[in-house]
Amino acid sequence: MVARLVLVLGDQLSVDVAALRQADKANDTVVMAEVADEAEYVRHHPKKIALIFAAMRKFAAELETDGWRVAYSRLDDPDNAGSIVGELLRRAEETGAQEVLATEPGEWRLIDKLKYAPIKTHILNDDRFIASHTEFETWAEGRKSMRMEYFYRDMRRKTGLLMDGDKPEGDKWNYDHENRKAADGDLCAEGPLKFEPDEITQDVLGLVESRFGDNFGDLYPFDFATTRKEALQALRHFVRHGLPSFGDYQDAMLKGDAFLYHAVLSPYINIGLLSPLEVCEAAVKAYADGDAPINATEGFIRQIIGWREYMRGIYFQQGSAYTTRNVLKHKRDLPALYWGGETHMSCVGDAVARTRANAYAHHIQRLMLTGNFALLAGVEPTQVHQWYLEVYADAFEWVEAPNVIGMSQFADGGIIASKPYVSSGAYINRMSDYCKGCHYSVTVKTGEKACPFNLLYWHFLDRHRDQFKNNARMGNMYRTWDRMDEAKRNRVLEDADALLKRLDAGEII
Ligand code: FAD
Ligand code: DLZ
Ligand code: SF4
């Protein structure tokens, strides 16, 4: 029998991953490699690199205990070839292997490298997902609109989650309208479970500090789970403490609370420590046991079997050029405030500070603060995309790019979102406590104290009128704008222009 190499990437840390399932423990060698190419192709947050390396090292050790032969390369090994393909070739020479079994990577860049590697490589479908590429393409084929909701219903039917025969549990597919509560200042969410770094993690932290200490983001304290066992504890903790209120406060933001009732499980699901289905099953069990309400449970599983699967489907269906789309022709450079530069905006400043500290911000902060501001300010989408890919521990291109390019920046022209996710300060004020202590005033529409979101919101609508004037969901916005008297409209636009000029000049806004 031909000896083979079995590639396991840093976000494929599951014994159920396709390449391991097809491998032969007796004859094949598992290859896992910390490599400069993957660690440096963008300047990842140090916590993200540490999470991946620590989890890789522990997963490799588990495989060895389970009888696998594992060739593991550390980043600082003197013979490390520096790339995934380089490491495969080096291991092939060492072992005499002539073929590679790989599970499809989550990024076109790496898929292409494997496809054109000078060694025979079998790339297997990554079936950790509920929908295969073919299933998604079949669903998408011939549709005028690819809205997530209908895809999600198919995923409910396919998995049987929260189904009562062929009807949705409670007779409703979607409980979102119950999930828009603003947070009172006195919410006291538990937050995610934290883990003390063991010796292996501490070694990794030392390495990351010395090699990537200058990247944006705090490495310490590091408290992510780095094994499946710990990730399962984090899941149980969320189901018990977070899930019951997840729905109610899903869209809320509080300055003093980085996590609210969010799961903080995406880093673990995305690197393979948890499977999406088991996470949903745990939530549905809590509902069945009477420990979580339907609006929370349905809202939670929709994020995973709906949005997560749908985003992956779009990424692969749209092809590698998707990340360069820029329908609105935005050109502005990403402002320094995204890298922790000073800002008077209490809301965006907090989201960036949380991101730097935790390699995490919850969905509404990503969408309605950093995303909303970048879109209103007209930042070039590829720069926004690169920022999100760098700063979050859960960021892998298959899920990050559609969220940023499609959902957040409308750069794909509306494949994902039926209208751009833009808002004035009023929305932020309604859903958060940020505006209370802000330098700007959320109720002021023009002048120095005017909330930048108020100015830029109208500026955005005005400059993109041609693109959006026929969008039925935006009719009200344009009618409100058109009803304002002309002098006021001109003043708003002038003040917005001046604000953007100050932003470009590097002034603090
Ligand atoms: P919760 O709010 O508790 O949700 C539960 C789970 O649902 C998450 O763990 C995640 O697996 C899934 N989920 C929720 N929303 C989405 C979504 N829109 N797309 C895919 N999965 C979703 N998610 C990533 O995993 N990686 C990214 O790089 C990423 N980048 C994003 C960029 C932008 C601009 C936006 C608006 C969203 C992005 N998301 C990304 C989606 C979402 O914000 C994160 O999945 C979520 O914040 C993760 O935190 P959580 O585990 O606490 O999620
Ligand atoms: C993100 C990442 C990093 C930082 N480092 C490695 C690594 O050294 N070795 C590895 O196998 N994978 C790493 N990864 C994850 C890959 O970049 C990921 O598999 C691709 O981006 C596709 O999702
Ligand atoms: Fe953000 Fe505007 Fe509120 Fe300040 S006033 S916190 S900038 S929304």
Those residues with Cβ within 8 angstroms of residue 386's Cβ, 6 or more apart along the chain or in another chain: 42
CA distances from 39 to 107, 175, 212, 213, 409 (A): 14, 40, 9, 13, 26
Give the pLDDT of residue 185: 64
| Tens-level pLDDT at each residue, the chain (509 residues) | 778 999 999 999 999 999 999 999 999 999 999 999 999 999 999 999 999 999 999 999 999 999 999 999 999 999 999 999 999 999 999 999 999 999 999 999 999 999 999 999 999 999 999 999 999 999 999 888 888 999 999 999 999 999 999 999 999 999 988 877 887 766 778 899 999 999 999 999 999 999 999 999 999 999 999 999 999 999 999 999 999 999 999 999 999 899 999 999 999 999 999 999 999 999 999 999 999 999 999 999 999 999 999 999 999 999 999 999 999 999 999 999 999 999 999 999 999 999 999 999 999 999 999 999 999 999 999 999 999 999 999 999 999 999 999 999 999 999 999 999 999 999 999 999 999 999 999 999 999 999 999 999 999 999 999 999 999 999 999 999 999 999 999 999 999 999 999 999 999 99
The answer to whether 301 touches 277, Cβ cutoff 8 Å, is no
- Residue 249: name the closest of 191, 183, 162 by CA: 183
Structure tokens at 361: 């911000």
The secondary structure element, H or E, covering residue 283 is helix 276-288
* Spacing, Cα 189 to ligand 2 middle (Å): 32
Give the pLDDT of residue 187: 72
β partners of residue 70: 30
Give the pLDDT of residue 125: 98
The answer to whether 454 touches 435, Cβ cutoff 8 Å, is no
Composition of the chain by helix, strand, coil, percent to 5: 55, 5, 40
The answer to whether 408 touches 384, Cβ cutoff 8 Å, is yes
First vs last C-alpha separation in the chain: 66
Those residues with Cβ within 8 angstroms of residue 10's Cβ, 6 or more apart along the chain or in another chain: 32, 34, 38, 52, 53, 55, 56, 271
CA distances from 460 to 173, 207, 295, 446, 485 (A): 34, 44, 34, 15, 18
* Spacing, Cα 230 to ligand 1 middle (Å): 20
Tokens 């949005």 locate to 307
Q: The whole model's pTM is what?
A: 0.98
* Closest ligand to residue 55's CA: 2
Q: From the CB of 423, is ligand 3 less than 6 Å away?
A: no
Q: From the CB of 364, is ligand 1 less than 6 Å away?
A: no
Structure tokens at 29: 């060698």
The secondary structure element, H or E, covering residue 282 is helix 276-288
* Spacing, Cα 345 to ligand 3 middle (Å): 6
Which of 176, 251, 266 for mutating ligand 1's site (highest number of atoms within 8 Å of CB)? 266
Which of 451, 457, 499 for mutating ligand 3's site (highest number of atoms within 8 Å of CB)? 451
Q: From the CB of 279, is ligand 3 less than 6 Å away?
A: no
State which amino acid sits at residue 57: R
Structure tokens at 218: 């705090």
Give the pLDDT of residue 142: 85
The secondary structure element, H or E, covering residue 231 is helix 228-237
Q: How far apart are CA 43 and CA 451, in angstroms?
A: 32
As a residue count, the chain comes to 509
Give the pLDDT of residue 186: 65
Q: Is 9 left (phi over 0), alpha (psi -120 to 50) or beta?
A: beta
The answer to whether 428 touches 435, Cβ cutoff 8 Å, is yes
- Closest-lying ligand 1 atom to the alpha carbon of residue 384: 34
Q: How far apart are CA 102 and CA 99, in angstroms?
A: 10
Residue nearest ligand 3's atom 2 by CA: 451
Q: What is the DSSP letter of 334?
A: P
Which of 107, 297, 363, 407 for mutating ligand 1's site (highest number of atoms within 8 Å of CB)? 363
CA distances from 72 to 7, 40, 47, 239 (A): 11, 19, 21, 35
Give the pLDDT of residue 189: 84
* Spacing, Cα 442 to ligand 3 middle (Å): 6
Handedness of CA 90, 96, 99, 105 (dihedral sign): negative
* Spacing, Cα 2 to ligand 2 middle (Å): 27
The answer to whether 238 touches 204, Cβ cutoff 8 Å, is no
User: How many other CB atoms sit within 10 Å of the CB of residue 403?
Assistant: 23
Give the pLDDT of residue 145: 83
Q: What is the DSSP letter of 130?
A: S
- Closest-lying ligand 1 atom to the alpha carbon of residue 250: 2
Q: How far apart are CA 37 and CA 444, in angstroms?
A: 48
The answer to whether 301 touches 158, Cβ cutoff 8 Å, is no
Q: How far apart are CA 275 and CA 130, in angstroms?
A: 10
* Spacing, Cα 9 to ligand 2 middle (Å): 6
Give the pLDDT of residue 95: 97
* Spacing, Cα 360 to ligand 1 middle (Å): 10
* Spacing, Cα 213 to ligand 2 middle (Å): 18
* Spacing, Cα 175 to ligand 3 middle (Å): 29
- Closest-lying ligand 2 atom to the alpha carbon of residue 48: 4
